[in-house]
Chain A
Amino acid sequence: MLITCPYCGARDAHEFTYLGDAELIDRPDPAGPEAEAAFHAHVYLRDNPAGPHRELWYHGSGCRQWLTVTRDTRTHAIASVVAAARPEVAR
């Protein structure tokens, strides 16, 4: 599997570390309403789709940037790779 990093070009998946669904960037507000249910969903529940999946990868052996990759989980075909929207929380 090759991931085309927007900074480094096409690189082997070996250079990257996977985190999970890109929704993980959106941490719930601990002071918000229904915070307990929101954190349960954030920490434990996943859509886990069979098909296109937006997910976070870290290019640890390259530019050390967080990337949002859209990849089809049925074929591993990658449709897009962009810099993560909020890299400071994507860890």
Chain B
Amino acid sequence: MRYSLLNVVVNGLTGNRFAKPAWRDPAPKPAYDVIIVGGGGHGLATAYYLAKVHGIRNVAVLEKGYIGSGNAGRNTTIIRSNYLLPGNEPFYEWSMKLWEGLEQDLNYNVMVSQRGIVNLYHSDAQRDAYARRGNAMRLAGVDAELLDRATLKAMIPFLDYDNARFPIHGGLMQRRAGTARHDAVVWGYARAADALGVDIIQNCEVTGFSRAADGRVTGVETTRGAIAGGKIGLAVAGSTSRLGKMLGLRLPIESVPLQAFVSEGLKPLIPGVITFGMGHFYISQSDKGGLVFGGDIDAYNSYAQRGNLPVVEDVCEGGMALMPMIGRLRMLRQWAGLCDMTMDGSPIIDTGPYPGLYLNTGWNYGGFKATPASGWCFAHTIATDAPHAFNAEMRLDRFRTGRLIDEKGAGATPVLH
């Protein structure tokens, strides 16, 4: 059923008595052309673009819990394409372009709001670094503006501009950046993929893989029985090493918790997304009014999906240094996602080291914005057995060959990214 204004009015007036579930709840078939493990945004987007762009509709998405229960439901909903390096920027800009047309494409309100992002700078060196980044973005055809202090002050008057240690001199702005509604992204992709024939199978945990004599991965064993697959793609973020272990793979990934926070609801206050350039702190305001913010990862391996108090303290200190007016605000909720940190801070979308296997992983703490392009590029990689130009450098073997995509220049230490 196509959603429309008429649809909303009719269902509203009839108390949703005639509304149908947005996607089916099928039992797994014995075999599929493609199996995607992981029913988050990336996995569902992959299935959608496989069906829509490549005509591969005999596809299953397997999810161990309910769809969107992992990082897709645990992020701070920021979308942006303000990257520096040629291996990253075209990919993230393609993601931004897909975001801009996503609601029409999916016929679903994913609440994309291009309210802009400002990365603040606090020193001459940081201004130069942001000028370089902005110029790199503009060379790649992306919008970027370097704002001076006066312009910024008119736009965001409430920051602590004259902080003794970290005075704010200006910021790098991308106006097309913004936020989207994380749950709606998952549900929109699920509904659109389901309509094209994709089976979304929830409460179905992968417990092993079946392999042919030549090493080809030929299927998965799950809590709902064995399922054969012509091609098998992993899009499980922080759990990639767990599945990799079942396949005898060691990966350049550590799983680390990232916490996020939301305050009590306020009237409209923060116009877009603001990031502190000295502490690690970023903040925006949700459409419900809560301030959504986050900071550093908890810097140790964990699969617990929760963090510890030192990072809570650190994030709140960053917030207070940037905008002291939030000091009396009460924090409503706090949660953590399970980040798949790679050794250079950039993702991996690649054909797997075994035939029949495909990898989508290494999103660090920035996977949400990448959701559309990640699905689009992973679908291309699975359908054609070769990466698209957008993910041509996001290879697994780059750590062996030395072709790292190191946005921060931080080296082989995942907690620094």
* Contact A48–B343 (Cβ < 8 Å): no
Say yes or no: is B300 at the interface (Cβ < 8 Å to chain A): yes
Residues of chain A lying within 8 A (CB to CB) of residue B300: 18, 55, 71
Q: Which residues of chain A have C-beta atoms less than 8 A from B2's C-beta?
A: none
Within 8 A of B (CB), among A27-83: 40-41, 43-50, 53, 55, 71, 73-76
Q: B252 — nearest CB in chain A belongs to which residue?
A: A44
Q: Give Cα A20 to B399, complex, Å.
A: 18
**Contacting pair B254 A13 (CB below 8 A):** no
Within 8 Å of chain A (Cβ to Cβ): is B288? no
Supposing A13-B310, A40-B399, A40-B400 touch, asked if A48 and B253 sit within 8 A by C-beta, the answer is: yes
Are B250 and A45 interface neighbours, CB within 8 A? yes
A46 lies within 8 A of B299 (CB): no
A78 to B277, CA, bound (A): 35
B37 to chain A, nearest CB (A): 16
With A1-B308, A18-B300, A44-B343 already in contact, the answer to whether A49 and B245 are too (CB < 8 A) is yes
- Which residues from chain A contact B400 at a C-beta distance below 8 Å? 40, 44
**Which of A17, A43, A49, A55 sits near B343, CB closer than 8 Å?**
A43
Give Cα A1 to B310, complex, Å: 9
Shortest distance in angstroms between A77's beta carbon and chain B's nearest beta carbon?
A: 10
Closest Cβ of chain B: how far from A36's Cβ, in Å? 9
Known: A1-B308, A13-B308, A14-B310. A48 touches B302 (CB 8 A): no
Chain A residues in 8 Å Cβ range of B301: 20-21, 48, 53, 55, 73
Distance, CA A75 to CA B310, complexed state (A): 17
CA distance A44 to B172 in the complex (A): 33
In the complex, which residue of chain B has the Cβ closest to the Cβ of A75? B304
State the Cβ distance, A86 to closest chain B Cβ, in Å.
Answer: 20
**What is the distance, in angstroms, from A46's C-beta to the closest C-beta of chain B?**
6
By the criterion CB–CB under 8 Å, are B303 and A74 in contact?
Answer: yes
B344 to chain A, nearest CB (A): 9
Q: Are B254 and A48 in contact (CB under 8 A)?
A: yes
Size of B's binding interface in residues, CB under 8 A: 24
Q: Which residue of the partner chain, among B241, B299, B308, contacts A49 with CB atoms under 8 Å?
A: B241
Interface residues of B in 401-417 (CB under 8 A from A): 412-413, 415
Contact string against A for B residues 233-262, beta-carbon threshold 8 Å, 1 for contact and 0 otherwise: 000000101100100001111110000000
Q: Which of A1, A47, A76 contacts B241 (CB 8 A)?
A: A47
In the complex, which residues of chain A have a beta carbon less than 8 angstroms from the beta carbon of B310?
A: 12-14
Separation in Å of the B363 CB from the closest CB of chain A?
15
Q: Are B415 and A18 in contact (CB under 8 A)?
A: yes
Is A76's CB under 8 angstroms from B302's CB? yes
A4 CB, nearest partner CB in chain B, Å: 16
A side interface size, CB within 8 A: 25
Q: Interface readout for B379-410 with A: 1 if CB under 8 Å, 0 if not?
A: 00000000000000000000110000000000
Which chain A residues border B412 with CB–CB below 8 Å? 43-44
1/0 contact trace for B220-242 toward A, CB 8 Å?
00000000000000000001011
Residue in chain B with minimal CB distance to A77: B304
Selected from B242, B250, B413, the residue in CB contact (under 8 A) with A50 is: B242
Asked if A47 meets B250 with Cβ closer than 8 Å, knowing A12-B310, A13-B310, A14-B310, the reply is yes
Report chain B residues within 8 Å CB of A71.
Answer: 300
Does A18 contact B299, Cβ atoms closer than 8 Å?
yes
- Chain A residues with Cβ below 8 Å from B251 are 45-46, 48
Is there an interface contact between B308 and A74, defined as CB atoms closer than 8 Å? no
Q: Quote the shortest CB–CB distance from A5 to chain B (angstroms).
A: 16
Contact with A along B296-314 (1 / 0, CB 8 A): 0001111110001010000
Task: Output the residue of B254, B302, B400, B415 with the most chain A CB within 10 A.
Answer: B302
- A83 CA to B239 CA in the complex, in Å? 30
Interface 1/0 per residue, B271-307 and A, CB below 8 Å: 0000000000000000000000000000111111000
Is B252 a contact partner of A45 (Cβ separation < 8 A)?
Answer: yes
A75 to B413 CA separation, bound complex (whole angstroms): 23
B308 adjacent to A73 (CB under 8 Å): no
CA distance in complex: A49, B302 (Å): 9
Q: Which of B255, B304, B399, B413 contacts A48 (CB 8 A)?
A: B255
Docked Cα-Cα span, A45 to B396, in Å, equals: 11
C-alpha gap A13/B254 in the complex (Å): 19
Q: Which residue from chain B places its CB closest to the CB of A43 in the assembled complex? A: B412
A14, A48, A55 pick with most chain B CB within 10 angstroms: A48
Expressed in whole angstroms, the Cα–Cα distance for A29 and B156 within the complex equals 55
Using CB atoms, name the residue of chain B closest to A17.
B299
Q: List 9 A-B contacts (CB under 8 A).
A: A12-B310, A44-B412, A45-B251, A45-B399, A46-B250, A48-B255, A53-B301, A74-B304, A75-B304
5 nearest A-B pairs in the assembled complex, by CB-CB distance: A48-B241, A44-B399, A44-B252, A45-B250, A18-B300
